[in-house]
Amino acid sequence: MLVNDGLANVVANLGTAKDKASATTWFVRPHTPEEFERMYRSGWLGRKIIDIPVDDMTRRWRGWSADNQFMEAIEAQEKRFGVRARMTAAKRWGRLYGSSAIIVGANPRLGEPSEPLDIGRMQKGDLAYLHVDISPRLLISEWEADIASPLFGQPRLYTYNPVVRGGLSGLGTSVKIHASRVIPFAGAPLPPMHAMATNDWGDSIFTAIEDTLNTSGTVSAVIASLLHEAKIDAIKTNLEGIGTKEGEARIIQRFQLASMLKSINNTLLLGSDEDYQQRTYNFAGLSDIHIRAMQEISGAADIPVTRLLGQAPAGLQSTGESDLRNYYDAISAKQETDLRPALERLDAILCADAGIEIPDGAFFHFHSLWQETATQKAENAFKRAQAVKLLKETDLIPGEVLSEAVVSQLVDDGTYPSLDEAMKAYKETRGELETVTELPDDEDEDDSTNVIPFRQAAQDAAPRSLYVSRKVTNAAEIIAWARGQGIPNLTATGDLHVTVMYSRDPVDWFGVGTAEERILVPRGGPRMVDRFDGGAIVLCFSDWSLRWRHESLREAGASWDHDEFTPHITVAKVEGDFDLSKVEPYQGKIVLGPETFAEVDDDWQSGVAAE
């Protein structure tokens, strides 16, 4: 007896030659550029599907890790040629039409457009323009067929044709453009065989999601149409005579008057043989259908619902954070695969046009889309600082090596992009910064100051209140900035300082350890000018070493009267109104001297002098 392997449904003929799915096939419906434009322009959902990923890929842009001179030059070139805007447009239209490109225009002395662009021959000012265009105006006319070439299978020559609605027009003649002068972008990649057959290089995003997009639009339209059926008035009446014009007119007039009376007086007049009913439509389940349709288009577009619709995540424990993180990871991957190769080609051209070279070791990174809260930043910085502290205490890694590793980490993750340059400058001027501050053994102490010298504290190690501060050694630069911003009643240069701890609770001074003698806060980073209690105008900044020191003091038993610790410098004390909105924060470096220990003096402000 022969038994077939598998199950066959005799009723539906599944698994046999008459399988109902046997005729299923796949096809790609061809579209015109005009159809894609209508899908983009006629509905908000189609526009957002095209725009959101592109905006997210470019909105935070990139940062360089290089010397300041190079960064200023390359950023000037970006602004001059609108690189960010053109990259955004090229990627946007690539997603919409399938294929787009940035066309590089150069000085005619570098050859015809059909000839390779030799960047080595470019001189300052040779870059003429960067134009964004799309397929079908720009198509591949020749492919690299030499298998020994590193560009095998890639476009070698493009043809540009001026195109308007309906086809070619007399806007100009076709132009051959060499691939070295074209930076292509694709919405979705095309299979190689299809690309060579059509001389195109990308598919519109709409091609694969069209059916799902239409379904979501249909669901929304049907639900909107049903709203008109939410409440229907039904009246049973005698329809005798409706077959004549006079009878029809009487019935129409009858219910017109009844409707008018109801709308004016909220009263419905019925005859004895008439019956009035109000019927309502049951919308139960429609919201689930609508939500499911939106979820499907969200999955098809590869954009989470929270980002696509601006919808708060559902569920008691749901925050939407994991969805956004996954989405941002996907955007980061697209930045690396789509934007980085294009930018690297463009950077070489921009640098040649500016007459500069990319320094050895210089690189750029895309700024993270995921923005930590101030609390998360502080916690992560503190954890990193603790890890560095533990490594330092174990002596497994020499201090100089550990310092370079930490600097490299802070530069790579974008915390302090220019820290390596600041460290280099610091090492060059280290001799000037490292001045020794000691009190001679025979020097008498000034009883008028609230600072208790460390030598005197050694004689009495009993716990006491603790005020730890650091003088600003480049105070003149900060005062010059404040004066230039029009801030009145400035603090005296010698009194500028940063408070590290202000503990009213007694602390064992010799149990809190010591910190580095000098702190150099590199220029840039988060800065803000704010007003504190008592009219104090302060410059707030961020520094992980100060935060780590503050937290270590608190762990040693010190108290703090505020919820959080924000390093700041009091630059002035202004009574009355003063508009801070026009004040630009100081962006230069901040150099702090050694820690000074003192007991808490609640009247310390009386000892602060003004300029």
Closest CA to 60 of 420, 313, 408, 364: 364
Q: Which two tokens stand for residue 301?
A: 């577009």
Catalytic residue among 198, 212, 568, 596: 568
DSSP 338: I
Give the DSSP H/E element, type plus range, for residue 222.
Answer: helix 205-226
Residue type, 182: V
Whole-angstrom CA distances from 85 to 58, 291, 339 are 9, 35, 13
| 499 phi/psi in degrees, rounded to 5 | -85, 120
Joined tokens for residue 336: 């690396």
- Using DSSP, state whether 455 is helix, strand or coil: helix
Do residues 196 and 214 touch, judged by C-beta distance below 8 A? no
Residues 6+ positions from 91 with CB-CB distance below 8 Å = 54, 57, 58, 100, 185, 338, 339
As a whole number of angstroms, the distance between CA 155 and CA 70 comes to: 32
| Active-site choice (58, 306, 473, 570) | 570
Closest by CA position to 598, among listed 440, 465, 447, 446: 465
Pairing between β-strand 163-164 and β-strand 155-160 as defined by DSSP bridges: unpaired
Q: What phi and psi values does residue 285 have, to the nearest 5 degrees?
A: 95, -20
- DSSP lists the bridge partners of residue 540 as 528, 568
Which two three-digit tokens encode residue 294?
């939106």
The SS3 assignment for 341 reads helix
- The residue among 374, 369, 376, 342 whose CA lies nearest residue 94 is 342
The backbone torsions φ and ψ at residue 599, rounded to the nearest 5 degrees and listed phi first, read -80, 155
Q: Could you tell me whether strands 202-203 and 188-189 are parallel, antiparallel, or unpaired per DSSP bridges?
A: antiparallel
DSSP string, 30-85: ---HHHHHHHHHS-HHHHHHHHHHHHHHHSS-EEEES-HHHHHHHHHHHHHHTHHH
Work out the burial of residue 136: count CB atoms within 10 Å of its CB; fewer than 13 is exposed, 13-18 middle, 19 or more buried. middle
88 is catalytic: no
Asked about 497 being catalytic, the answer comes back as yes
* Cβ contact 294:309 at 8 Å: yes
Closest by CA position to 469, among listed 499, 507, 493, 495: 499
**Contact by Cβ (8 Å): 117, 178:** yes
Catalytic option among 207, 212, 499, 596: 499
φ and ψ at 610, to 5 degrees?
-105, 160
562 is catalytic: no
The distance between the two most distant Cα atoms of the chain, rounded to a whole number of Å, is: 127
- Single out the residue of 479, 565, 490, 581 nearest to residue 530, CA to CA: 581
Question: From the candidates 88, 497, 550, 566, which is the catalytic residue?
Answer: 497
* Residues contacting residue 14 through CB under 8 Å, at least 6 positions apart: 7, 8, 20
Cα 464 to its chain centre, rounded Å, is 48
| Euclidean distance between CA atoms 20 and 15, whole angstroms | 9
131 annotated active-site:
no
Q: Are 546 and 500 in contact (CB under 8 A)?
A: yes
Residues forming beta bridges with residue 105, ordered by sequence position: 129
Q: Which residues are catalytic?
A: 497, 499, 568, 570
